[in-house]
Amino acid sequence: MHKRFFVQAATAVVVAAAFGSVQAQTTPIKFQLDWRFEGPSAFFLQPVAKGYFKDAKLDVTVDAGNGSGGAVTRVASGTYDLGFADLAALMEFHANNPDAPNKPVAVMMVYNNTPASVMALKKSGIKTPADLAGKKLGAPVFDAGRRAFPIFAKANAVGNVAWTAMDPPLRETMLVRGDVDAITGFTFTSLLNIEARGVKADDVVVLPYPDYGVKLYGNAIIASPKIIKENPAAVKAFLAAFTKGAKDVITDPAKAIETVKARDGIINVPLETRRLQLAIDTVINSPDARAEGFGQVKGPRLSLMASQVSDAFNTKTRVKADDIWNGSFLPTAKELDILPKPKK
């Protein structure tokens, strides 16, 4: 009896040890989104749901966020290994915290163009950037479009505007109520939120930053220096699995939205599907993205952005483009070739 017990116990130890070694090969990754679970978060939830991260020996946890600034600081603090953040917010963090020991770096471009735009109701009479002079604009103080507005204003010779700050949920409500003349925000967020408040899309004027001379990059995947140093293979594996998932999302956004629904059961599925499609069309599969290649950046454009952000954000030190980008973990050009050709 005792002998059999010892054999079973020994077997259990061997099995546990074997299982432990399999577990040990899986790297846990904590990932911080820039915003709550909405259409575009399908890009990160799809590879989780499809097992692409798991196949790459990664155990990825995706958490909702509350702005790019928060994503940058959480990765900088070591709470998260990787995150998704507006490149301008990352540049600002670097330039304002030159002595910070753990400045995250961007390792893959996802939104090749900034999704920021100025939006107004047609009845305001605003048709062009010049019409904004003397008007009251509204946005949360940390909004990417508001922070970068000086670049937009300079490119379009916009006269002085007055700013009103509010919490994000009130932005579109205040525009619809007439408390402000125009707002800044991500097009795929604010336009659909305006519609949700009863305004037809045809009654909204959208002035997208990329269409008006502002060639800023948008959101990128960022990584902590710690994971880059200690586990570069995991960063590489993450980007390869992410790219595989991104191809699925671009091919069938309606199917991919199910992964968002699984994380947040109260989302409006048709609305979030439209939001995802809008994000794909405007900032992911944009002409600039197709020219430069998915995931990649061009040196001169990155340097120009670094200079513009230093000026517009009035940073403590100048942004150094080389410090904020590391493209060495990207998949091959063939693997990154996932953007469909534009429809004729």
Q: Per-residue pLDDT tens for 185-218?
A: 999 999 999 999 999 999 999 999 999 999 999 9
What's the number of CA atoms in the CB half-sphere (13 Å) around residue 148? 35
Res. 24 pLDDT band, cuts 50 70 90: low
Fold match between domain 9-112+217-336 and domain 116-212: yes
Q: What is the DSSP string of 143-199?
A: -HHHHTHHHHHHHTT----EEE---GGGHHHHHHHTSSSEEEEEHHHHHHHHHHTT-
Residue 142: per-residue pLDDT: 87
99 phi-psi bin (left φ>0, alpha ψ -120 to 50, beta other): alpha
Q: Decide yes or no: CATH 3.90.740.10 for domain 116-212.
A: no
Which residue is associated with the tokens 């008007």?
135
- Kindly list the domain boundaries of the chain, sorted by start residue: 9-112+217-336, 116-212
Mean pLDDT (the chain, rounded) = 93
Residue tagged 């077997």 (tokens):
11
Q: What's the pLDDT at 11?
A: 56
Taking residue 124's Cβ as centre, other Cβ atoms within 10 Å add up to: 16
How many other CB atoms are found less than 10 A from the CB of residue 275? 26
Tens of pLDDT, residues 119-156: 999 999 999 999 999 999 999 998 889 999 999 999 99
Smallest Cα–Cα separation from 33: which of 105, 85, 92, 91? 85
Residue 67, pLDDT score? 87
Query: Sign of the C-alpha dihedral, residues 158, 164, 168, 171?
Result: negative
Residues 97-116: pLDDT tens digits? 999 999 999 999 999 999 99
- Residue 6's pLDDT is 55
192 contacts 185 by C-beta, under 8 angstroms: no
53: three-class secondary structure by DSSP: helix
Q: Are strands 116-121 and 136-138 parallel, antiparallel or unpaired?
A: unpaired
Q: Measure the CA–CA gap between 180 and 190, rounded to whole angstroms.
A: 14
Q: Which residues on neighbouring strands pair with residue 222, listed in sequence order?
A: 83, 106
Q: Which residues contact 3 (CB under 8 A, 6 or more apart)?
A: none
Burial 161-195 (b: 16+ CB within 10 A, else e): beeeebebeebbebbbeeebbbbbbbbbbbbbbbb
- pLDDT tens string 233-271: 999 999 999 999 999 999 999 999 999 999 999 999 999
pLDDT > 90: percent of the chain: 90
pLDDT band at 344 (very low <50, low <70, confident <90, very high): low
Q: Is 9-112+217-336 a domain of CATH 3.40.190.10?
A: yes
**Sequence-distant contacts of 11-19: CB under 8 A, at least 24 apart:** none
Scanning the chain, the segments in alpha helix (DSSP H) are 2-24, 42-49, 52-55, 68-77, 87-96, 144-147, 149-155, 171-177, 187-196, 225-230, 232-251, 253-263, 269-279, 287-292, 299-312, 321-324, 333-336
What are φ and ψ of residue 164, in 5° steps? -120, 130
pLDDT of residue 22: 47
Asked if residue 21 has pLDDT above 50, the reply is no
Structure tokens at 110: 């996802």
Strands 82-86 and 219-223, bridge-based pairing: antiparallel
Distance in angstroms between the alpha carbons of the first and the last residue of the chain: 78
What pLDDT is attached to residue 13? Answer: 53
This prediction's pTM:
0.90
Here the tokens at position 240 are 């390869």
Query: Percentage of residues in the chain with pLDDT exceeding 70?
Result: 92
